[in-house]
Amino acid sequence: MKKITASITGVAGYIPDYILSNKELEKMVDTTDEWILSRTGISERRILKGEGQGTSVMCIEAVNRLLDKKKISPLDIDLIIVATVTPDYEFPSTSNIVCDKVGAKNAWGYDLSAACSGFLFALTTGAQFIETGRCKKVIIVGGDKMSSIIDYTDRSTCIIFGDGAGAVLLEPDPEELGIQDFILKTDGAGIKHLYMKAGGSAYPSCRETVDKREHFVYQEGQAVFKSAVKGMADVSAELLEKNKLTGADIQWLVAHQANKRIIEATAERIQLAPEKVLMNIQRYGNTTAGTIPLLMWDYEQKFKKGDNIVISAFGGGFTWGAIYLKWAYNSQNK
């Protein structure tokens, strides 16, 4: 029997209008544009403003743009998975809200929590439903409103994060293009370096947790940085080796945008020429689950049918991994 592979057949994104520049951050915390740019590669990031505006607002817009672009009815969608660590509510899932608001009446869905690796984990999970033949059209959304959990008095953390969402359509591929292989990893011992201390069932929200500012991202930057460099580089190299590929066989590295230096270290490890390394970190910062689909959205025109792409991410938890896929279409024709 012919193998069914899952291909990305369309991509769209949404970034909020408000631009939080390094210059504006200089007025909020003790930092400089020069420090942020040289240490991270970030110039500005987007912030979703307005009362009651949760992550779903951006995810819905991204999905609607994707449906418009692909000219397909929301009724044809079987499943929507939303990767996020900033769901609108503790429950129900943000996916429930997205399915409802985009009119995906025949779809079911759920949220997936894997921090900055969320999109990577959701993409491989969604692909399983295509590969088994269970679903024909699956939408994977990665989106986070990081500004809702960022402490804008913590200069080493607030400078890297921003808000945004991206969405891709997964469909069965007649030519066996699409997702070829992946390696995903988790290490719960990493929790102490990057997490939100309160608000879950271990430490439910109360006056004390609010007073202690425990509803914000807690990040030990250097420890995360070291693990991210090693994790992303090692797993990308392992995936290439497993598939008997070298950097010369790869056209594009689509890496999680957390820090320019982490991305460059990964590219160097798999011996990828700089022009194959895609970046938009300068404009959006780290949008957590949003970075990878937003990067694909920005660079879609460059991708050609059959291009070998490595997607790689590292995030809180710790979670990390890499996907090897063959791009399924010439973007100018879509």
Q: Which residues bind ligand UT7 (CB under 6 A)?
A: 31, 35-36, 39-40, 116, 155-156, 159-160, 194, 221-222, 224-225, 228, 258-259, 262, 286, 314-315
Q: Which of 99, 193, 256, 280 is catalytic?
A: 256
Taking the complex as a whole, the smallest distance from the CB of residue 80 to ligand UT7 amounts, in Å, to 24
243 is catalytic: no
Q: What is the distance, to the nearest Å, from the Cα of residue 37 to the centroid of all Cα atoms in its chain?
A: 21
Quick one: the chain helix, strand, coil %, rounded to 5?
Answer: 40, 25, 35
Taking the complex as a whole, the smallest distance from the CB of residue 278 to ligand UT7 amounts, in Å, to 16
Instruction: State both tokens at 167.
Output: 């969405």
Place of tokens 């990878």: 292
Residue whose CB is less far from ligand UT7, 16 or 290: 290
Instruction: State both tokens at 261.
Output: 């230096």
Residue whose CB is less far from ligand UT7, 124 or 286: 286
Alpha carbons within 13 A on the beta-carbon side of 7: 20
Question: What is the C-alpha separation between 16 and 5, in angstroms, rounded?
Answer: 34
- How many other C-beta atoms lie within 10 A of the C-beta of residue 280? 18
Taking the complex as a whole, the smallest distance from the CB of residue 292 to ligand UT7 amounts, in Å, to 11
Return the bridge partners of 44, or none: 21
Taking the complex as a whole, the smallest distance from the CB of residue 308 to ligand UT7 amounts, in Å, to 25
252-267: b or e for each residue (b if 16 or more CB lie within 10 Å)?
A: bbbbbbbbbebbbbbb
Residue whose CB is less far from ligand UT7, 81 or 194: 194
Residue whose CB is less far from ligand UT7, 15 or 104: 15
Please choose, from the candidates 249, 288, 74, the residue with its C-alpha nearest in 3D space to the C-alpha of residue 166: 288
Question: What is the C-alpha separation between 56 and 230, in angstroms, rounded?
Answer: 33
280 is catalytic: no
Q: Which of 64, 96, 259, 286 is catalytic?
A: 286
Q: Which of 99, 116, 135, 158 is catalytic?
A: 116
Residue whose CB is less far from ligand UT7, 130 or 217: 217
Taking the complex as a whole, the smallest distance from the CB of residue 155 to ligand UT7 amounts, in Å, to 4
Burial class of residue 34, CB neighbours in 10 A (0-12, 13-18, 19+): exposed
Q: Which residue is nearest to ligand UT7 (CB)?
A: 221
Helices 260-269, 221-242: axis angle to 10 degrees equals: 30
Residue whose CB is less far from ligand UT7, 38 or 132: 38
Taking the complex as a whole, the smallest distance from the CB of residue 29 to ligand UT7 amounts, in Å, to 6
116 is catalytic: yes
Catalytic residues: 116, 256, 286
